[in-house]
Amino acid sequence: DAGVIQSPRHEVTEMGQEVTLRCKPISGHNSLFWYRQTMMRGLELLIYFNNNVPIDDSGMPEDRFSAKMPNASFSTLKIQPSEPRDSAVYFCASSLSGRNTEAFFGQGTRLTVV
Amino acid sequence: AQKITQTQPGMFVQEKEAVTLDCTYDTSDPSYGLFWYKQPSSGEMIFLIYQGSYDQQNATEGRYSLNFQKARKSANLVISASQLGDSAMYFCAMRASNTGNQFYFGTGTSLTVIP
């Protein structure tokens, strides 16, 4: 398996534009996580899906952020409109469900909003 | 609520020496898993080691071992014979059944190995 695949790897956009980050989890994994990492706030869990259903989205900063998982092999995180404070590295991770299974992370998307 | 605490923002260790990175956790669930991840400067998150709450023995993976003290709710990572390539951020994480098996991460410890 190629691992968790995120695209794009880097994104530079202007304030106010819509940004869509994409994630392909490992085949067979039924849990998917979106994280945001910044120097100031560390690694924050944004949203957690299990079997394509959002279980916890309490970490989503505000209504500008939305996430979908239309099927087991694809998820998106959308920011509309984007703001400079959204600049961060966004990670997608997938795993099997169960407390004893590790999460596998994608390479991350480095988002810069200017 | 689940909580992971890493109290050491930065650590230094001499090459070839051992180092312990601290992690404490808080959960009311008797069934949970503890994980350590490494994040080098290149940015990827690398899984290192896992310890289950019911495991009787401390987990080991090569030069990594987990010092699991259940009563103290601590899960410290021990790296033996440090190498320059061990310089990275290290994150402790927990996954518990009573919270739908979410992953909770600590704030991380930055380890620098000195030649």
**Residue found under tokens 């620098």:** B112
Nearest CA in chain A to B30: A99
Q: Are A4 and A90 in contact (CB under 8 A)?
A: no
Among B56, B62, B113, CA closest to B89: B113
pLDDT at B100 over 80: no
Q: By three-state DSSP, how is residue A99 classified?
A: coil
- Measure B106 CA to nearest chain A CA, in Å: 8
pLDDT, average across residues A81-92: 97
Q: How many CB pairs under 8 A join A and B?
A: 60
Contact B43 A100 (CB under 8 A): no
- The closest alpha carbon to A98, from B53, B75, B58, B57, belongs to B53
Non-local (6+) Cβ contacts of B87 within 8 A are B40, B41, B111, B112, B113
A17-54 pLDDT, tens digit each: 999 999 999 999 999 999 999 988 889 999 999 999 99
Q: Is the peptide bond before B40 cis (omega within 30 degrees of 0)?
A: no
Q: How far is A71 from chain B (nearest CA, A)?
A: 20
Two tokens, residue A32: 């998917």
- Average pLDDT over chain B reads 94
pLDDT tens digits, one per residue of A50-72: 999 999 898 998 899 999 999 99
Q: Hey, are the CB atoms on B107 and A42 less than 8 Å from each other?
A: yes
Provide the pLDDT for residue A42: 87
Cα end-to-end span (Å), chain B: 41
Amino acid in the structure at residue B83: Q
Give the rounded percent of residues in chain B with a pLDDT score beyond 90.
84
**Residue B97 CB burial class (10 angstroms; 0-12, 13-18, ≥19):** middle
The verdict on a CB contact (< 8 Å) between B103 and A33 is yes
Per-residue pLDDT reduced to its tens digit, B8-62 = 999 999 999 999 999 999 998 889 999 999 999 999 999 999 999 999 999 999 9
Residue A48 to residue B97, Cβ atoms within 8 A: no
DSSP assignment of A34-82, as one string?
Answer: EEEEETTTEEEEEEEEETTEEEE-TT--STTEEEEEEETTEEEEEESS-
Task: Please name the member of B37, B53, B103 whose beta carbon is closest to the beta carbon of A45.
Answer: B103
Neighboring chain A residues of B91 at a CB cutoff of 8 Å: 43
Cβ-defined contact of B102 to A93 (cutoff 8 Å): no
Strand B109-114 with B88-96, pairing: antiparallel
Q: Are B95 and A99 in contact (CB under 8 A)?
A: yes
For residue A41, the model assigns a pLDDT of 85
- B85-99 tens-digit pLDDT: 999 999 999 998 777
Instruction: Give the best residue of B101, B109, B110 to mutate against chain A (max A CB count within 10 A).
Output: B101
Distance CA A66, CA A48 (A): 12
